[in-house]
Amino acid sequence: MQNSFQIENPNPSFLETSRRDFWWIEPFFTAIGLLAFVIYSTWAAFQNEHYQWESYLSPFYAPLLEYDWWPFSPAFLILWAPAGFRLTCYYYRKAYYRSLFLTPSACAVGGRPQNYRGERFLLLFQNLHRYFLYIALVFCVILSYDAYISFTFKDGLGIGVGTVIMTLNAVFLTAFTFGCNSLRHLVGGNVDCYSCVNFGHQRYQAWKFVNIFNMNHMMWAWISLFWVGFTDLYIRLVSMGIITDYRIL
Amino acid sequence: MSETLFKIFRGERAKGELCGYSVEVTEGMVVLDAINQIQARHANDLAVRWNCKAGKCGSCSAEVNGKPRLMCMTRMDELPLDKPVIIEPMRRFPHIKDLVTDVSLNYEINQQIRPLKPKPREADGTYRMQQKDIERIQEFHKCIECFLCQNVCHVTRDQQVQEFAGPRFFIRIASLAMHPLDTLNRLKELKDVFGIGYCNITKCCTEVCPEDIAITDNAIIPLKERVAGAFYDPLALLWRSLTSVSK
Amino acid sequence: MESYEIKEHDVLVIGAGGAGLRAAIEASAQGVSVGLVCKSLLGKAHTVMAEGGMAASLGNTDPRDNWEVHFRDTIRGGKNLNNWRMVEIFCREAAERVAELEEWGALFDRTKEGLIAQRNFGGHRYPRLAHVGDRTGLELIRTLQNHGIHQGIDIYMECCIVELLKEEGRVCGAFGFWRESGQFVVFRAKSVVLATGGLGKIFRVTSNSWEGTGDGHALAYRAGAELTDMEFVQFHPTGMVWPPSVQGILVTEGVRGEGGVLKNSEGRRFMFDYIPDTFAAETSDTEEEASRWLSGDPEARRPPELLTRDVVARAIRSERLAGRGSPHGGAFLDIAGQRNAELIKRKLPSMYHQFKKLGNLDITTTPMEVGPTCHYMMGGVRVEPETTMSTVEGLFAAGEVAGGLHGANRLGGNSLTDLLVFGTRAGFHAAKYSREQSDTIEPSKQLLKKLEKLALEPFDPERTENPYGLMADLQETMELHTGIIRESDEMEKGIELLQALKIRGERLHVEGNRQYNPAWHYALDLRNMLCVAETITLAALKREESRGGHTREDFPESSDSLQKVNTFIREVNGRMIHEHREREPMPEYLKKLMNLPLKEG
């Protein structure tokens, strides 16, 4: 039991730890989840077909921007916005820094050796999260509108499985967006004294409201991520004729 | 009642080894009890810091089976006792002896934070503050300065960044910046001196906090947003320069 | 002889809890050079453990409150044994001292009007305790710490004082060592403020941390200062009793202040059976009235759970002896049946956390098991009320180490305010005294050499006694012979045992080197602990009555003649001299306050 070691230099080597729980499980599955989504969404965006069926529209292609001057899939005119929103999101930063960049992969586990600079130079764009939020709020409206449209069928109003899926997609994305830390700052987090400013009470209430979603920001991040991919997949499979949309009403 | 093996880092100035000691485990026992038992029975001179033994003073920070924790709040029955329990000092700080490290760096950082500069009292000699205006910072005042967050944060632990205050002091700055009475603007030093931009939100500070303070979500991220608003938001910058010109 | 590091200051403050920090801040504000010595790291002192709040008659929550009612409550709580002048100063200055903390960043819970909210506590007529949930002590020390570090005070962390230096009848500094290196250091100062806190560690079941070893009491005693009221040790009625490793950890009185009730194993609220006559007029005698009080009815009288600590501690003990105790020898403290879970978590967060984590118990659904635990030392260094100077020139004392303010029993919440009020006075007057001295007296070489030898004796390889073993034996002896209930034969036996322990104390042996060696620190602490244990036992033996924190099985009643006297102990030619002396009678204007008609409704 005499394993001597130096701890003068606190700089632990890569992945070095005395932890003996399964600390690698979380980054491992996070990495799989993130990579799976990136691969699927990129593939789906490149397809440039099967994104519509009746009144259903894949969220990867919403709003549908088909222009003559754009030779590629219209998805690429859209996807930079939600991608940027999620890339600069404070929760996703934890997820990818831990699971993909291993800086660090888990607490008290040695991080990847690198010239670590934090938010400097290019990474200063992380501070623009609030602009992606503004766009994301517009997307919440657009996707809600698409969900509303999905209640209309050739034979009039109705509800299909796809309608439910699209509606939930709008709900989940909105719940994710409403928990955004930038939103939390803008609606009230930047106030030091609610009882001293104009509309202080309303801002306090708004801040409290955002807190509800913010507390489970990670959960909404994953649910909305999975569901947006699933919504695309469902519409794709229906449109390809592999499965049939079941009409509930 | 059962016996279990502890392996404790012993040595001075970072040179040392893990030494094994047998401990008699009783109901409800915490790791610090085991350490005290070892001191009394086997190793009188085993150096360890502790005071209140009730999770209120934040002295007995160490790494238990590799996880930064307070020894007084780590119950033995939450550890796997079939394998030896490994106790090491906090690795981030210069080692002194056994489980004691030199945490004076933290006191130096605190010294650099400008103290509260309150606005004047009301006419009746009191300060009026509403509960809703202080509840956010009351959470930060729960901090017991155990320095586990300072120990675990990879920015200092792995990356050795010097110009970075660390989670404990972002909490402290947040408690001043969001204080309804404070009159100072602390954002510039937060960016330039205390290096808040080095935090990449991996949340280990929150994970190890024995007081369950949401360090990242409630202090660091809101501060980052304030810094973003003051220095990186192009529209806000434009607006401010326009309004200052018109004046 | 080694060469010593020498630090020179006008004022040296020993102890960096609330009183020490406050004294250092005040002395520094007077423009003198201040050194602050703490045994642990800064901000870890026992003050952080204070939970419930600090008493000050701000009158925010109940406007009927004022310093006069606070005076009356404190004297009644102290069973008329208090130094009335200290109490008067204390009650008059409390509000200002508390308010000042806000300027330094403290955040107390608020009333609807945005003022400092106050909570009910045992023995206080009106809600009086400014508080922050149940971690008021942490707020206090952190506020003082973060203010203090910018006041130009030199702070010496992890430094133990072995002895005060005294020449020509005046204190001229202190001799100590750095825990980290084990090297000696000499502090030279024109005045010294003792703010070393308590001595709970001489008992086995205690809420005190390892630091509470009575250092200041012993340092002052050996320097020739007079100690007072050493028999009055407060046993807090509600400490944790299970599991064994947490036995003694405090359960704040705030639990009862927020409505918690005490029940025995038969489910009876037994405190209704233990209401003393003095408090009968203002205590509810039915559960119905008590619950009306809880819901805020100003006509209702206070529930009996909020009687003073000595009464409640004895009641719990009596229930246990009558076979109605809880499974692990305590009583049940139930807040779950009185308040909803959300409020409990908001008002008592650290209690919730503490039981959840250490006791595997959810206090929002299940009653806690509690029993008495040694908590506070009412007695201490006898000080001049105005200046806090002891009977030794240049030696001041404030906080728990000073005696007189609390009489025979301290009211909860009075100690945090004590730290502030008398800490401030100690700092101010020590600075004033220092300025009046022309120069610092240099300690003699022989004295330093003697102290060095004394401190290093435990490293003598000939010795054999284990400090940990001796400490455990001392704690057991005090618990059994001078504990919560005392009896003449037991105490005489205790004194004999203490003599034997003292002899063992001279043979203490420590292994290893001087660097951060806890065994060595304990060995030196034990010297102080043995000293204060003896003063307590002697004082307790001589007070042949029961009063406040001092309960005699052989003298269960209070005696009118002993009410007039206080205990004084000092060292004369190496012998411990005990004396009862009469207190100066209370002046008329204060006497009137004792029978103040209280405005009801």
Active site residues of C: 236, 256
Question: What percent of chain B is modeled with pLDDT above 90?
Answer: 87
Flag if B222 and A181 touch (Cβ within 8 Å).
yes
Label residue C282 by pLDDT band (50, 70, 90).
confident
Structure letter (DSSP) for residue C399: G
Architecture per CATH, domain C5-234+375-436, reads as 3-Layer(bba) Sandwich (3.50)
- pLDDT, one tens digit per residue, over B115-140 is 999 999 999 999 999 999 999 999 99
How many whole angstroms separate alpha carbon C263 and alpha carbon C243? 20
* Homologous superfamily (CATH) for B104-237: Alpha-helical ferredoxin (1.10.1060.10)
Flag if B232 and A127 touch (Cβ within 8 Å).
yes
DSSP string over C293-359 = HHTT-TTSPBPGGGS-HHHHHHHHHHHHHTT---TTSSEEEE-TTTS-HHHHHHHSHHHHHHHHHHS
* Contacting subunits of A (3+ beta carbon pairs below 8 A): B
- pLDDT, one tens digit per residue, over C381-396 is 999 999 999 999 999 9
Q: Shortest CB distance from B54 goes to which of C43, C49, C210? A: C49
User: What mean pLDDT do residues C74-99 have?
Assistant: 96
Is C348:C254 a contact under the CB 8 Å cutoff?
A: yes
Residue C173: what are its φ and ψ, rounded to 5°? 145, -160
pLDDT score of C3 more than 90: no
Question: What percent of chain C is modeled with pLDDT above 70?
Answer: 99
Flag if C472 and B57 touch (Cβ within 8 Å).
no
CATH code, residues B2-101: 3.10.20.30
Upper half-sphere CA count for residue C466 (Cβ side, 13 Å): 11
Q: Does B66 touch chain A (CB under 8 A)?
A: yes
∠ CA C463-C464-C465, rounded to 5°: 115
pLDDT score of A8 more than 50: no
Mutate to test the interface with B, among C48, C113, C141, C238 (most CBs of B within 10 A): C48
- pLDDT, one tens digit per residue, over C10-42 is 999 999 999 999 999 999 999 999 999 999 999
Flag if A108 and B84 touch (Cβ within 8 Å).
no
Give the relative orientation of helices C518-542 and C488-505 as an angle to the nearest 10 degrees.
150
C423: tokens are 């800490």
Q: CB count, 10 Å around CB of B143?
A: 24
| pLDDT of res. C1 | 59
∠ CA B107-B111-B117, rounded to 5°: 140
* Closest to C87 (Cα-Cα) out of C547, C598, C538, C590: C590
How many whole angstroms separate alpha carbon C460 and alpha carbon B90? 33
Q: Shortest CB distance from B128 goes to which of C115, C146, C472? A: C115
Question: What percent of chain B is modeled with pLDDT above 70?
Answer: 98
How many whole angstroms separate alpha carbon C377 and alpha carbon C198? 6
C464 strand-pairing partners: none
Question: Tokens 């945490």 appear where?
Answer: B103
B203: tokens are 């949340």
- pLDDT, one tens digit per residue, over C283-333 is 999 999 999 999 888 889 999 999 988 899 999 989 999 999 999 989 999
C261-263 and C331-334 beta bridge pairing: antiparallel
∠ CA C218-C221-C223, rounded to 5°: 110
ipTM: 0.95
C358: tokens are 């250490």
Q: Shortest CB distance from B197 goes to which of A21, A120, A184? A: A120
A112 vs C203: which has the higher pLDDT:
C203
Structural Rg of chain C based on CA atoms: 23
pLDDT score of C600 more than 50: no
Flag if B197 and A119 touch (Cβ within 8 Å).
yes
Give the total residue count for chain B. 247
Q: Does B98 touch chain A (CB under 8 A)?
A: no
Q: Is C161 helix (H, G, I), strand (E, B) or coil?
A: strand
Q: Give the closest-approach CA distance of B11 to chain A in angstroms.
A: 10
B54: tokens are 């009730």
Q: Shortest CB distance from B96 goes to which of C157, C180, C211? A: C180
Q: Does B184 touch chain A (CB under 8 A)?
A: no
C194 strand-pairing partners: C14, C397
| pLDDT of res. C308 | 86
- pLDDT, one tens digit per residue, over C524-561 is 999 999 999 999 999 999 999 999 999 999 999 999 99
How many whole angstroms separate alpha carbon C154 and alpha carbon C443? 21
| pLDDT of res. B200 | 93
Q: Shortest CB distance from A3 goes to which of B17, B221, B233? A: B17
Q: Shortest CB distance from C43 goes to which of B118, B121, B145? A: B145
C-alpha dihedral (C160, C165, C170, C173), degrees to nearest 10: -50
| pLDDT of res. A80 | 95
Flag if B52 and C46 touch (Cβ within 8 Å).
yes
Is C177:C403 a contact under the CB 8 Å cutoff?
A: no
Please give the single-letter amino acid code of residue C418: D
pLDDT score of B197 more than 90: yes
Q: Give the closest-approach CA distance of B55 to chain A in angstroms.
A: 21
**Which strand ranges, in their side-by-side order, compose the sheet holding C233-240?**
C233-240, C368-377, C331-334, C261-263
Upper half-sphere CA count for residue C254 (Cβ side, 13 Å): 31
The chain-wide mean pLDDT, for chain B, equals 94
| pLDDT of res. C254 | 87
Structure letter (DSSP) for residue B217: I
DSSP element (H, E) containing B176: helix B167-177
- A2-11, C23-32, C237-246, C497-506: least confidently modelled range: A2-11
pLDDT score of A3 more than 50: no
pLDDT score of A211 more than 80: yes
Give domain limits for chain B.
Answer: 2-101, 104-237
B92: tokens are 């981030």
User: What mean pLDDT do residues A5-10 have?
Assistant: 44
Q: Shortest CB distance from B45 goes to which of C147, C354, C518? A: C518
Mutate to test the interface with B, among A107, A128, A199 (most CBs of B within 10 A): A107
Give the relative orientation of helices C84-103 and C136-148 as an angle to the nearest 10 degrees.
70
Residue B113: what are its φ and ψ, rounded to 5°? -80, 125
The chain-wide mean pLDDT, for chain A, equals 92
Q: Give the closest-approach CA distance of A197 to chain B in angstroms.
A: 11
The answer for C 127-186 residues in CB contact with B (under 8 A) is 132-133, 135, 138-139, 142, 146-147, 149-150, 157, 180
Flag if B63 and A127 touch (Cβ within 8 Å).
no
Flag if B133 and A192 touch (Cβ within 8 Å).
yes
pLDDT score of C278 more than 90: no
| pLDDT of res. A11 | 65
pLDDT score of C598 more than 70: no
Is C508:B44 a contact under the CB 8 Å cutoff?
A: no
Label each residue of chain A as H, E or C.
CCCCEECCCCCCCCCCCCCCCCCCHHHHHHHHHHHHHHHHHHHHHHHCCCCEECCEECHHHCCCCCCCCCCCCCHHHHHHHHHHHHHCCHHHHHHHHHHCCCCCCCCCCCCCCCCCCCCCHHHHHHHHHHHHHHHHHHHHHHHHHHHHHCCEECCEECCEHHHHHHHHHHHHHHHHHHCCHHHHHHHHHCCCCHHHCCCHHHHHHHHHHHHHHHCCHHHHHHHHHHHHHHHHHHHHHHHCCCCCCCECC
Label residue C260 by pLDDT band (50, 70, 90).
very high
Q: Is the peptide bond before C243 cis (omega within 30 degrees of 0)?
A: yes
Residue C83: what are its φ and ψ, rounded to 5°? -80, 105
Q: How far is CA C331 from the centre of its chain?
A: 24
Residue A109: what are its φ and ψ, rounded to 5°? -120, 135
* Closest to B60 (Cα-Cα) out of B89, B96, B39: B89
Label residue B228 by pLDDT band (50, 70, 90).
very high
Flag if B180 and A196 touch (Cβ within 8 Å).
yes
Searching chain C, which residue's CA lies closest to the CA of residue B44?
C519
Q: Is C151 helix (H, G, I), strand (E, B) or coil?
A: coil
How many whole angstroms separate alpha carbon C241 and alpha carbon C252? 14
Q: Give the closest-approach CA distance of C598 to chain B in angstroms.
A: 26
Question: Tokens 């709003």 appear where?
Answer: A63
* Contacting subunits of B (3+ beta carbon pairs below 8 A): A, C
Flag if C245 and B30 touch (Cβ within 8 Å).
yes
Instruction: Give A-chain residues touching B66 at CB under 8 angstroms.
Output: 17-20, 108
Flag if C109 and B28 touch (Cβ within 8 Å).
no
Label each residue of C73-127 as H, E or C.
HHHHHCCCCCCHHHHHHHHHHHHHHHHHHHHCCCCCCECCCCCECEECCCCCCCC
Work out the end-to-end distance of chain A between its first and last CA atoms, rounded to an integer number of angstroms.
70
| pLDDT of res. A6 | 40
Q: Is the peptide bond before C372 cis (omega within 30 degrees of 0)?
A: no
Give domain limits for chain C.
Answer: 5-234+375-436, 238-374, 453-557
∠ CA C298-C299-C301, rounded to 5°: 95
| pLDDT of res. A145 | 97
- pLDDT, one tens digit per residue, over C345-383 is 988 988 998 899 888 899 999 999 999 999 999 999 999
Architecture per CATH, domain C238-374, reads as Alpha-Beta Complex (3.90)
Question: What percent of chain C is modeled with pLDDT above 90?
Answer: 87
Q: CB count, 10 Å around CB of B117?
A: 13
Mutate to test the interface with C, among B141, B150, B173 (most CBs of C within 10 A): B141
CATH code, residues C453-557: 1.20.58.100
Label residue B97 by pLDDT band (50, 70, 90).
very high
pLDDT score of B178 more than 70: yes
How many whole angstroms separate alpha carbon C549 and alpha carbon C376? 10
Flag if B179 and A18 touch (Cβ within 8 Å).
no
The chain-wide mean pLDDT, for chain C, equals 94
| pLDDT of res. B244 | 80
Is C177:C183 a contact under the CB 8 Å cutoff?
A: yes
How many whole angstroms separate alpha carbon C477 and alpha carbon B194? 53
DSSP string over C169-225 = TEEEEEEEEETTT--EEEEEEEEEEE-----GGGSSSBS--TT-S-HHHHHHHHTTP
